[in-house]
Amino acid sequence: MKYLCLLYADESMWATMTPEDASQMVAEYGALTADLKRSGHYVGGAQLQASTSATTVRVRGGKTLNTDGPFIETKEQLAGYYLVEASDLNEALSIAARIPASRGGAIEVRPLVEAPVPANA
C-alpha cells in the first residue's frame, strides 16, 4: 500500500541555519532516501521550493483565478514529500518518524486510494 508523507516545516529555519547544519541536513535526507531505496520502500519524493514561490489556481464559473501564495497560510509550510510503499500504517509511521522534518516540524501520513481493478481486467 502506498502512503504519501507530507513534510511540514518552518521555512525560516533554513535562513537561520549555519552552512554546516544545512549541509548536514541535506546529507541526512540523502542518506534516508538511499536507505528507503535500498529497502524497497521508496516510490518518489522531492523537496519543494519555498512557499513564496507557490501559486494557487481556482476555476470558478469557467474563469481561472490565479493567486499568489500557498492554499493555506500557516507557520509550518508544506516543504516536501516522500511517497513510500509500506505493508501497513505502522510501517509507514515508522518511516515517517525517520524523516528529519519530524523533529521540529511534522509529517502528515496519508494513504493513497488504491485504483480499483476494472471489471473486465
Partner 1 sequence: MTDATTRTRDLIDALYRSDSRRVLATLVRLLGDIDAAEEALHDAFVCAMEQWPRDGVPDNPRAWLVSAGRFRAIDQLRRRAVLDRSRSAMELEASSLAELRPVDDDAEEIDDRLRLIFTCCHPALSVDAQVALTLRTIAGLTTEEIASAFLVPAPTLAQRIVRAKSKIRDARIPYEIPERDALPDRLDSVLSVLYLVFNEGYSATHGEAVVRADLCAEAIRLTRLVGELLPDPEVDGLLALMLLHDSRRHARTDDAGEALLLREQDRTRWDRALIAEGVRLTERAISSRRVGAFTLQAAIAAVHAEAESADATDWHQIVGLYDVLLRVQPSPVVRLNRAVAIGLARDAGTALALIDDLLGEGELASYAPAHAARGYLLEQLDRTAEAAEAYGVARDLAVQGPQKRHLDRRADALRGGPS
**Site residues, partner 1 (CB under 8 A):** 1, 87-90, 93, 109, 111, 114, 116-117, 119
Question: Looking at beta carbons only, is 1 or 26 nearer to partner 1?
Answer: 1
CA distance 1 to 111: 7
- Compute the least distance from the CB of residue 119 to partner 1, in Å: 5
Given the complex with partner 1, which of 55 and 90 has the nearer CB atom? 90
Least gap, CB of 8 to partner 1 (angstroms): 17
Look-up: residue for cell 511540514? 8
Measure the CA–CA gap between 99 and 87, rounded to whole angstroms.
18
Residue 61: CB minimum distance to partner 1, A:
34
Which CB sits closer to partner 1, 57 or 121? 121
Q: Would you list the DSSP string of 65-110? A: EEEES-SS--SSEEEEEEEEE-SSHHHHHHHHTTSGGGTTSEEEEE
